[in-house]
Structure 1
Amino acid sequence: MDWLQLFFLHPVSLYQGAAFPFALLFNYLCIMDSFSTHARYLFLLAGGGALALAAMGSFALLVLIPALWATVLICWLHPRDVHRWAFFFQMSWQTLCHLGLHYTEYYLQERPSMRFCITLSSLMLLTQRVTSLSLDICEGKVKAASRGIRERSSLSEHLCKALPYFSYLLFFPALLGGPLCSFQRFQARVQGSSYLCPRRLVWALSWRGLQIVGLECLKVVLRKVVSAGAGLTDCWQLQCVRVMWFTAGLFKLTYYSCWILDDALLQAAGFGPGFGQSPGEEGYIPDADIWTLETTHRISLFTRKWNQSTARWLRRLVFQQGGAWPLLQTFAFSAWWHGLHPGQVFGFLCWALMVEADYLIHTFASMFIRSWPMQLLYRMLAWAHTQLIIAYIMLAVQARSLSSLWLLCNSYNSVFPVVYCILLFLLGKRKHTFN
């Protein structure tokens, strides 16, 4: 495996950049009040369709069909049944598409089409929006169209009632990336009349542009460092730790850059901070909190801050639904949602164990480490260990074959998660004494 291969992130960024003029145009027309509400929904929907065709080609049908079917379910089922059926259909459809990728990669031993990879990425984001909307309907946060669409009315009236849902599932600023935007925020933005002042918008976009340029420059430097050294196939003992650290750093920089670009696109269209927050709804949270991610000494905090909107969605969809072992269920579902590649199954289950160990270790440390010099030393060691474990998990998740995963597991890097597993076993026996 080529550890420098960043899959489909760069092509997605190119298409996201191409969508910027249309996002700014939408924002401008809304500020000028040149659009009716239905025209705004149609503009966002048409932009989503055009972007899907440009980025995915004929594979766009794999996104358009479940979006259309989810809209039908939302409009015709009773609110209490919407989430169950929408979740079942969406995850079944997505799983079948991921199985197609498995068939291409593992059975045919062929490189998958880049457009198909982009389609899978968009399909995963569509799953977020479908399940988020269906949960909102079940919980009464969103009024279901099914209450009024069964009444006798013309076809045009039925389509008008379904338009907001279909537009939300396919609106172009969030089609290929970006933080999860709730339907309440989306609807409030489209129907609203007050928007961010142009000067503040220009400053926000300029700042994000500078961040992206800085991250891309760091990527160029780090790529040269990684390319000049040995890989996991020919590294020697502790040298493998250096390879893992820098390779994971390259992956993280790529994700940070993409997340900031996605956030900027939503901001350009007017779906950023300050728009559409309803009472009781959490405010807009970008996916990239780089400072916290790079400075925290706790794996649990890193987990909550890594891709924040997805972490919040997983917490609501799985973790808060009750049942035994909610943490393990959440990470197992995350592996399913990502596609169930061997590295993903291993990486996410390892991540779950590391988070569980993190809670016990830091609880134990807070009871017995009192002096500030020891606390400072502990934080430094915990930070280094946290970053190394995250690097290990990241490379495991990115592994696309069992041979690549075996190279990682058979290296000195496995020492770091093994230490946490041992501490989890030892401290788990004493959990009742400091719970």
Structure 2
Amino acid sequence: MMCTHVPGWTKAINLSGRFIQMELCEMNTLREDNSQLISRYVSLGLGGCLLAVGTMGVYSLVVLVAVLGFALLVVWVPPDRVHGWMFWGQMLWQTVWHLLLQHGEGLLPQGRGVRALVAVSSLMLLTQRVTSVSMDLQEGRIHLPQGGAASCPLFLLSLCSYVLSFPTLLGGPLYPYSRFVGCVEGSGPGAPPLPLGAVSLKLLQVLLLEGVRAGLLRGLPGPGPAAAGGPGPAGACLCLWGVALALRLRYYSHWGVSEGLNLAAGFGPQGPDRGGLSDGDPWTTEASPRVSEFARRWNATTAAWLRRLVFRRGGRCPLLLTFGFSAWWHGLRPGQAAGFLGWGLAVRADYTLHRHVGTALSSRWGRGLYAGLSWAHTQAVITWVVLLVEARGVAPMGAWSSGGVAPLGAWSSVSVLLFPLLNAALALCFLLKPRAFS
């Protein structure tokens, strides 16, 4: 019986060869995965560039310069200091263009004026994304590669693709960078199919909202001899509420289209944060019985961004600072400043009333009456805010309400000018810590 003996050095060579072969296979697999990730990031970012150029024309430079500044700050500034540079740089750049748009809006031709407005609106959304990344870097939620961002082109590409992604360039809910990376990395051949049912449901919801909005506008009294005298107090209030509701329905429709686009692009709900891609459900938001609840549900991802950016860092007056910054972020026109600061006072008044009145009611009918009156007060506050912000001032509001949708006469001016006084008086009655927005 013969026994073959394999030398030890032969076994070592075989093991080394197998190890090298496995390493080469892993390197090839990793290279293929990286090439697929690069192609996805490039597709999203390049799609955003093409969409910006197509919709904004020469004003796309407003957005592209901001993206370039974002990338340079990530590369050059340490993570613990990048947020301050990012915040002030982005807000100053955005404010400059807001002022240029306000003072030159009437001088631009109609086509260029629309393109400039689209560019500034996209810049506002870009501010949300770049400051979210800077806060993540500051708080350690995003870890830079060893050697910094410049040493890892894939990391820098993913950041630029996140802030310039075409599904969120012109609208859509704000989701964190980590979620964006997870969706991109999970969109390979083994990914689940596109949620066509969810996309179709979003589109049907948008059509329903547009139908309700069209019917509501048809039901409002228009300008003409029959309405020359103007409606009475109750009619004026109903007309104002109807106009504001129609404007809010337009926002809900826009959010629905944006959410459907994100779903179709593969950025759907996943994991435990399944409800994080919605900016507001119209039925839940409009049924909010309190002003503070409406503030949390309206444009929900932006409200969460404001809480993180301003409210939790706001010091002694976080509530008013949050709504004041919201007015600055929107453009700081007189109507916007008055509307958002009035909204902040109403939220504080809501907290005061609920603390001292709502908790003192014990009977069922008393709580029901309080809930109904609170809902009516919420609708009145939001009506006042929406009309004033959309009109961008008290004087345009009076002209618009008198000659545009319905001749509301003096009642609209009185409601616009005097309504905030009630909320201001209630808010200043008690100096309480504003926990309603936390």
- TM-score, normalisation: structure 1: 0.82
Task: Look up the match of 1:94.
Answer: 94
Distance change >3 Å, CA 419–CA 162, structure 1 → 2: same
Mapped to 2, the partners of 1:397 and 1:176 lie a distance apart of: 20
Structure 1 stretch displaced more, 318-327 or 232-241: 232-241
* Pairing of 1:321-400 with structure 2 (within 5 A): 321-400=313-392
Residue 123 of structure 2 aligns with an amino acid whose one-letter code is L
Q: Is the contact made by 2:311 and 2:321 (CA closer than 8 Å) also made in structure 1?
A: yes
Mapped to 2, the partners of 1:149 and 1:295 lie a distance apart of: 46
- TM-score, normalisation: structure 2: 0.81
Distance change >3 Å, CA 393–CA 96, structure 1 → 2: same
Residue 391 of structure 1 aligns with an amino acid whose one-letter code is T
Task: Look up the match of 2:26.
Answer: none
Q: Is the contact made by 2:314 and 2:322 (CA closer than 8 Å) also made in structure 1?
A: no
Mapped to 2, the partners of 1:232 and 1:102 lie a distance apart of: 33
Mapped to 1, the partners of 2:228 and 2:359 lie a distance apart of: 39
Query: Is 1:259 the counterpart of 2:258 in the alignment?
Result: no
Shift of 1:198: 2.8
Query: Is 1:128 the counterpart of 2:119 in the alignment?
Result: no
* Pairing of 1:184-199 with structure 2 (within 5 A): 184-192=178-186, 197-198=192-193
Q: Is the contact made by 2:335 and 2:388 (CA closer than 8 Å) also made in structure 1?
A: yes
Distance change >3 Å, CA 412–CA 346, structure 1 → 2: closer
Higher relative contact order (CA 8 A, sep 6+): 1
Mapped to 2, the partners of 1:227 and 1:50 lie a distance apart of: 43
**Aligned residues between the structures:** 387
Identity, % of aligned positions: 40
* Pairing of 1:219-258 with structure 2 (within 5 A): 219-226=213-220, 228=222, 236-258=232-254
Query: Is 1:411 the counterpart of 2:406 in the alignment?
Result: no
Distance change >3 Å, CA 150–CA 229, structure 1 → 2: closer
Task: Look up the match of 1:51.
Answer: 51
Distance change >3 Å, CA 147–CA 225, structure 1 → 2: farther
Deviation digits for residues 69-121 of structure 1, max 9, x if unmatched?
A: 10111122111121111111111110000010121248x59877111111111
**Tell me, what secondary structure is at the counterpart of 1:270?**
coil
Q: Is the contact made by 1:240 and 1:411 (CA closer than 8 Å) also made in structure 2?
A: no
Distance change >3 Å, CA 347–CA 252, structure 1 → 2: same
Deviation digits for residues 295-353 of structure 1, max 9, x if unmatched?
A: 11100000000000000000000001141200011111100000001100000110010
Residue 176 of structure 2 aligns with an amino acid whose one-letter code is S
Task: Look up the match of 2:142.
Answer: 142
Q: Is the contact made by 2:130 and 2:163 (CA closer than 8 Å) also made in structure 1?
A: yes
Mapped to 1, the partners of 2:177 and 2:93 lie a distance apart of: 22
Task: Look up the match of 2:66.
Answer: 66
Mapped to 1, the partners of 2:123 and 2:170 lie a distance apart of: 9
Task: Look up the match of 1:104.
Answer: 104
Mapped to 2, the partners of 1:219 and 1:145 lie a distance apart of: 50
**Tell me, what secondary structure is at the counterpart of 1:370?**
coil
Distance change >3 Å, CA 383–CA 416, structure 1 → 2: farther
Task: Look up the match of 1:12.
Answer: none
Q: Is the contact made by 2:187 and 2:266 (CA closer than 8 Å) also made in structure 1?
A: no
Task: Look up the match of 1:269.
Answer: 265
2:276 to 278, 284, 289: 284
Task: Look up the match of 2:3.
Answer: none
* Bigger CA radius of gyration: 2
Task: Look up the match of 1:211.
Answer: 205
**Tell me, what secondary structure is at the counterpart of 1:177?**
coil
Shift of 1:190: 1.3
RMSD of aligned Cα (Å): 2.8
Mapped to 2, the partners of 1:139 and 1:282 lie a distance apart of: 24
Distance change >3 Å, CA 274–CA 144, structure 1 → 2: same
1:172 to 152, 166, 171: 166
Q: Is the contact made by 1:353 and 1:421 (CA closer than 8 Å) also made in structure 2?
A: yes
Shift of 1:287: 0.0
Distance change >3 Å, CA 57–CA 366, structure 1 → 2: same
Mapped to 2, the partners of 1:232 and 1:136 lie a distance apart of: 57
Shift of 1:221: 0.8
**Tell me, what secondary structure is at the counterpart of 2:387?**
helix
Distance change >3 Å, CA 95–CA 315, structure 1 → 2: same
Gaps of 5+ in 2: 1-32, 402-411
Shift of 1:380: 1.1
Structure 1 stretch displaced more, 239-248 or 329-338: 239-248
**Tell me, what secondary structure is at the counterpart of 2:80?**
helix
Q: Is the contact made by 1:75 and 1:145 (CA closer than 8 Å) also made in structure 2?
A: no
Shift of 1:282: 8.9
Distance change >3 Å, CA 110–CA 268, structure 1 → 2: closer
